[in-house]
Structure 1
Amino acid sequence: MNGLEISSFVAALPKVELHVHIEGTLTPSLRWKLAHRNNVPLPYLTYEALLESYNVLYNHRKEVNGDNGAPTFLETYFAGTQVLCKEEDFYELGMEYLQKAKDMNVRYVEPFFDLQAYLPRGIPAATVLNGYMRAQREGAAKFGVQSNWIMCFIRDEPVEEGIAAYKAARPWAKMEGGKGLFHAVGLASNEYDRPPLLFETGYEMAQRDGLYVTMHCDVDQKDAADHVHEAIFSVCGGKGAQRIDHGLNAVDRPELIAGLKDRGIGLTLCPHAYHRRQKTEVLFPKIRKLWDEGVKFCINSDDPTYMHNIWVDGAMEKVYHYCEMDKSDMVKLARNSVEMSWADEKLKEELLAELDAFEANNC
């Protein structure tokens, strides 16, 4: 991890994670197991070859950077989803992540899921969502990790397909008469020439159902700052998103920093995801600038198994070290995660009280 070891302080810090794609936690071992269980062919003859494939330096944006022959991150990510076929597969994926969360002292999570990765293969929404819902409930009981999930619209697919996926998922939403798996919608996948406002119909439907709205504004993508501007000032009938995922390009324009602060919109930053493409001396001063400007943000992992196996604890360690944060700063970042979350108020109070006690004993 760039020569860093996770400190005992960061390891012990109670955590909340608000930006993790459940498909991006699919470990090579589980992928290998499910591929063989479901008779899904893999382009790797051995498990060692599969492991080696995770060491590739992806071409993150072929449409921006050109084709250098390397696979793109999204090609690899969605290739992994092909082994997920049955309810038990989705359950195992969810449980494996929640076990990992427990091991990292993560108390509460809001994982993203991509229903549109499965419906075109003929996998019913119920297969996916019942598997995740079992993991949500059993993970809370077995590991003590509470979760509320977020359904993503796949933004490089037709809007109407995303709307159809939401309608299929709606019985599992956290709303009157719903089963309570997910409480928000978001945007994910390739945002090249796919600005947030394209999905306004989806946000409106979700808000009418009482759900929250967040959206990815990827880092250094084409029109990145413009997308952040839309997410702050234009979507949701001009009210703006309730959270923005990534959004680091807010540092490019003063009005974006002001808008985030004025509207109380937090950013879910994933430092290692950007560190793969930006030099240390370029990236971390940007994060530090947001901190010094008073923008609220929290630290997360994104897609850890496809990003050098750096999880939320490793992402926090990077900020602790490279942004020259002190221990109280790190506790404040953890508080930001709680305050930015959409957990119920009782759980928030419990988590904040735990952080108060942790700070009193460790800072």
Structure 2
Amino acid sequence: MNGLEVSPFIASLPKVELHVHIEGTLSPSLRWKLAHRNNVPLPYPTYEALLESYNVLYNHRKEVNGDNGAPTFLETYFAGTQVLCQEEDFYELGMEFLQKAKEMNVRYVEPFFDLQAYLPRGISAETVCEGYLRAQKEGAERLGVHSNWIMCFIRDQPVEDGISAYKAAQPWAKVAGGKGLFHAVGLAANEYDRPPLLFETAYEMAQKDGLHVTMHCDVDQKDAVDHVHEAIFSVCGGAGTERIDHGLNVIDRPELIEGLKKRGIPLTLCPHAYHRRQATEVLFPKLRRLYDEGVKFCINSDDPTYMHNVWIDGAMEKVYRYCHMTEADMIRLARYGVEMCWADEGLKQRLEQELDDFEASVCGG
């Protein structure tokens, strides 16, 4: 983790995570196991070769930089989804992540999932959602890690395909009569020439069903600043999205920072993901500036197994050290996560109380 070890303070800090892709938590060991169970060929002759593939720095964008022959992050990410075929596979993936969350003192999480990665292979919404639903219930009951999930529209696929996937998943939405797996929709994958407003019909549909709306605005992608502007001022009938995932390019235009604060739109930031492309002395002053200017954000992992196995605790450690944060600052960021999350009020109150108790023990407050 760039030479940093997770400190006892960060390790013990109660956490919530609001930006993690469940498919991006697929460990090499589980991927190997599921590939053999489901007779899915892998381009790696040995487990050691598979492990070595996870050491690659996936920071190249073909659409921006041209094809240098190396796989992009998204190509590798979606290749991993090919081993997920049966309900049990999705359950095991969910439980593996929730167990890891428990070990890191993560109390609540809102994982993204990509239903559209499976439907074209003939894998039903029921297979995917029932597996994750079992993990959601067992994670809360057995591990004490509560979760509400977010179904993503894959933005480099046709909007109509995303709407069809959403309709297939509606029985598992957290709506009247639904099974309660997911309570929000998001927007993920390659946003090159795919601005947020393209998906306005999909957001409106979800909002009418009573679901929350968030969306990725990737860092330093083509038209990144314009995408953030749309997310703040144009989508959802002009009301703006409820949260922005990433969105670090608000730093490039003062009116965007003001727009976030006036509209109360927080960011889910993933500093290790950006650290792949930006130097320490460039990236972390941006985060510190956002914090000092009163922009509400929380710290998250994104796709930890494909990003050098840096999880939320490692991402928070980077912010703690490189942004020169105090313990009180980091507890405040943890509180922001609770305030930003879409858990029920009873759970949010319990999370707030745990942070109060933690702060009193650490800071004497």
TM-score, normalising length: structure 1:
1.00
After superposition, residues 326-345 of structure 1 pair within 5 angstroms as: 326-345=326-345
CA distance in 2, matches of 1:31, 1:228: 34
CA distance in 1, matches of 2:56, 2:13: 31
Whichever residue aligns with residue 34 of structure 2, its letter is L
Partner of 2:264: 264
Q: Deviations over 1:34-56 (max 9, x none)?
A: 00000000001100000001111
After superposition, residues 225-244 of structure 1 pair within 5 angstroms as: 225-244=225-244
Partner of 2:111: 111
Q: Deviations over 1:77-134 (max 9, x none)?
A: 0000000000000000000000000000000000000000000000010000000000
Partner of 1:158: 158
CA distance in 2, matches of 1:106, 1:59: 27
Contact 1:297 1:333 in 2 (8 A): yes
CA distance in 2, matches of 1:232, 1:162: 22
Aligned-residue offset at 1:65: 1.3
Partner of 1:33: 33
After superposition, residues 46-61 of structure 1 pair within 5 angstroms as: 46-61=46-61
Aligned-residue offset at 1:246: 0.1
Greater CA deviation, 228-237 or 52-61? 52-61
Partner of 1:282: 282
Aligned-residue offset at 1:59: 4.3
CA distance in 2, matches of 1:89, 1:260: 39
Partner of 1:245: 245
CA distance in 1, matches of 2:300, 2:136: 19
CA distance in 1, matches of 2:276, 2:308: 9
Whichever residue aligns with residue 19 of structure 1, its letter is H
Q: Per the alignment, do residues 327 and 59 of structure 1 end up closer, same or farther by CA in structure 2, a change over 3 Å counting?
A: closer
Percent identity over paired residues: 83
Q: Secondary structure at the match of 1:18?
A: strand
Count, aligned residues: 363
CA distance in 1, matches of 2:215, 2:339: 18
Contact 2:232 2:259 in 1 (8 A): yes
Which runs of 5 or more residues in structure 1 are unaligned? none
Whichever residue aligns with residue 212 of structure 1, its letter is H
CA distance in 2, matches of 1:214, 1:106: 21
Contact 2:40 2:83 in 1 (8 A): yes
CA distance in 2, matches of 1:139, 1:95: 7
Contact 1:59 1:71 in 2 (8 A): no
Contact 1:59 1:70 in 2 (8 A): no
CA distance in 2, matches of 1:186, 1:337: 17
TM-score, normalising length: structure 2:
0.99
- Give the CA RMSD over aligned residues: 0.5
